[in-house]
């Protein structure tokens, strides 16, 4: 949490809380040590089901997850975490990288995808970047809690939808890169998630009625998901 969000909300500062999902004990111990030395609170899970149980009972800011776990696929763990709390940042670590898993990770909104073996500096950079993005997103959410903020967000959402309808390159970027394409727009994580996932209910509730042209990207997004 940034000093600004602390001062506005009146909440005491707390260290970021990280859930480390890694089934190799030596790797888990090493990464836990790195994270602890950086001042983060760390919990370790060595199975996918164990990770989901730990996650549901705690407010983790970041999940660092291996893809190959002894019980369920690491991407399935990430998917369930993102469905439960979309604001949670995720860094993937894997000794078995593939194009398909990297593409799926991007679609899920994963911050980084690290191939083993990686250096300590590479790991710390990925973790720090993910937590920085979460702080920024938290501030964006805070700004739309005011009436003026909600009006700005409505304008920004409409601007994105109209741009997607008019610019093929931007359309494709939204489809392939998700929320990364929305950097710089003043909107909350919920608004970004609604656009990327095609959440018509959220859009109608928070933005209002939109034209067929403005909703063209959303309809196509839902068609693609159905396939």
Token digits for 131?
């937590």
DSSP, residue by residue, 65-132: EES--SSS-HHHHHHHHHHH-TT-EEEEEESS--HHHHHHHHHTT-SEEEESS--HHHHHHHHHHHHH
Q: What ranges do the domains of the chain cover?
A: 3-141, 146-226
pLDDT for res 167: 93
Q: Is the separation of the CB atoms in 28 and 22 below 8 Å?
A: yes
pLDDT exceeds cutoff 90 at 126: yes
The per-residue pLDDT for 63 is 96
pLDDT in tens, 177-213: 887 888 888 888 788 888 988 888 889 888 999 999 9
**Nearest CA among 109, 79, 80, 114 for reference residue 97:** 114
Handedness of CA 196, 197, 200, 206 (dihedral sign): negative
- pLDDT digits 0-9 by tens, 91-100: 999 999 998 8
Q: Tens digits of per-residue pLDDT, 143-173? A: 566 777 788 888 999 999 999 999 999 998 8
For the domain 3-141, what is the CATH superfamily, name and number? Response regulator (3.40.50.2300)
């Amino acid at each position: 949490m940034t000093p600004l969000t602390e001062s506005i909300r009146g909440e005491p500062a707390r260290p970021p809380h990280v859930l480390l999902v890694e089934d190799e004990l030596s790797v888990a111990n090493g990464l836990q040590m790195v994270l602890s030395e950086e001042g983060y609170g760390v919990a370790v899970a060595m199975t996918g089901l164990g990770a989901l149980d730990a996650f549901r009972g705690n407010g983790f800011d970041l999940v660092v997850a291996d893809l190959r776990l002894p019980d369920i696929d690491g991407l399935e763990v990430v998917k369930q975490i993102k469905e439960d709390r979309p604001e949670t940042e995720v860094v993937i670590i894997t000794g078995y990288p593939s194009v398909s898993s990297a593409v799926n990770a991007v679609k899920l909104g994963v911050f980084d995808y690290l191939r083993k073996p990686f250096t300590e500096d590479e790991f710390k950079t990925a973790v720090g970047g993910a937590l920085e993005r979460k702080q920024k997103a938290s501030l964006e959410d805070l700004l739309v809690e005011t009436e003026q903020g909600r009006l700005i967000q409505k304008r920004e959402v409409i601007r994105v939808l109209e741009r997607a309808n008019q610019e093929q390159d931007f359309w494709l970027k939204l489809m392939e890169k998700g929320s990364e394409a929305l950097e710089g727009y003043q909107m909350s994580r919920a608004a970004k998630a609604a656009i990327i996932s095609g959440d018509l209910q959220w859009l109608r509730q928070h933005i209002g009625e939109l034209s067929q042209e403005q909703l063209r990207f959303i309809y196509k997004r839902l068609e693609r998901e159905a396939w």
